[in-house]
Amino acid sequence: MVYPGAVHSRFEHSLGVYWLAGEAIQKLKNYQGMELGIDRFDIQTVKIAGLLHDVGHGPFSHLFEREFLPLVMSGSKWHDMSVKMVDHIVDEHHIEIDPEMLKRVKEMIVASTTHALPKGMKEKLFLYDIVANGRNGIDVDKFDYIVRDCRACGLGCNFQFQRLMETMRVMGDEICYRTKDYLTIHKMFATRADLYRTVYTHPKVKAIELMIVDALVKANDYLQISSYIHDPREYWKLDDTIIKTIETAPDQSLSESRDLILRIRRRELYQFCNEYAVPKDKIEHFKKVTAHDIVCSQDYESDEKFTIPDDRISHLLPTSYQDMIVGVIAEAFENFQLKTYGIKAQVHATPEKKKRRL
């Protein structure tokens, strides 16, 4: 499985963010300590928040939260488990920690997932920019996983976060960077976009993700996977080894799930047929495409001749750093594009050999 920050282990990533968070706040203290009032309490709080910011992730991280749970929770809303897990760890192991520090740590974790600063806090808001920055997206979480994942995947990485950490300053209670470092910041977002395109959302990766989601959904009634999210004492037991549980359990109820996992092992993956870049003017109000949408477009035909302009191929221009890509396995998808957007904007046409196979 591959997702942001998880080409390696999440434990390594958490330690990396812990270390970088400590280094970042220490540098700010060295440069502006008296002016900012940074003390030992602040340093410890930021480092602990860095260590624990991902502690509430389930198996396969965002896949579990964004893909699996919405299919099995029947309208219930998922709330990040990190805060509950922090309380559970403190209570279970009788950890002595300043109540105010614990409160701040949990606020920083919530801010990292909701991209919102805590209400009522009027000073040292810059501390919430360090671990996961909801104001501009420049934070040590990205510093760690971008460099780490590039190295793990054998990709080149010319983004040097050390340069940003050496020159950052707090202005107006917000961490700011020198104007001449804009290229370094550009490289950070460009490298992240490249990772998404070539690694995190690679067709083979997405095929495996879809198969794992299907396997978990089919296994949910028997294993009651989704029930674990209601109790931290049970939730901590839920990790990526759930796949091994499905593979080795003899119960017939898991046969479909086992078959899917076996197909993944044998590289008999779902076939990727097509994709298109959602037009920029449609992204803000984008509605998730369903199988029903595709099927209902089966009879839509057009003989219109057209060319594909540059902005239909990719949005990765200097002012934009992400694509919204929809990939499906159905020939009717082209008709859906024409019906919905008035264009056939797929980047890659379905090969004739695959069309014959479908």
Domain with 64 in it: what CATH number? 1.10.3210.10
Same domain for 96 and 210, yes or no, is: no
Same domain for 69 and 24, yes or no, is: yes
Same domain for 21 and 101, yes or no, is: yes
Determine whether 79 is an active site residue.
yes
Same domain for 212 and 128, yes or no, is: no
User: Which residue, among 56, 55, 71, 46, has the nearest Cα to 14 in the 3D structure?
Assistant: 55
Predicted pLDDT at 347? 54
Give strand pairing partners of 346: 276
- Say if 4 falls within a structural domain: no
Question: What H or E segment, with its residue span, contains residue 275?
Answer: strand 274-277
Work out how many domains the chain is built from and give that number: 3
Pairing assessment for the beta strands 325-328 and 169-171 based on DSSP bridges:
unpaired
- Say if 194 falls within a structural domain: yes
- Say if 117 falls within a structural domain: yes
Same domain for 143 and 166, yes or no, is: yes
Give me the count of residues in the chain: 358
User: Which residue, among 84, 113, 86, has the nearest Cα to 228 in the 3D structure?
Assistant: 84
Predicted pLDDT at 75? 60
Residue by residue, pLDDT tens for the chain (358 residues) are: 444 444 457 788 999 999 999 999 999 999 998 899 999 999 999 999 999 998 988 899 889 988 999 999 876 566 678 899 999 999 999 999 999 999 999 999 887 666 667 776 778 999 999 998 888 899 999 999 999 999 988 888 888 899 999 999 999 999 999 998 999 999 999 999 999 999 999 999 999 999 999 999 999 999 999 999 888 999 988 989 999 999 998 899 999 999 999 999 999 999 887 777 888 888 888 888 877 787 777 766 667 776 767 666 665 555 555 666 666 655 577 777 777 777 765 555 566 665 555 5
Pairwise CA distance, residues 166 & 146, whole Å: 18
Domain of 35? 10-200
Same domain for 187 and 93, yes or no, is: yes
User: Of the listed 8, 57, 79, 88, which one is catalytic?
Assistant: 79
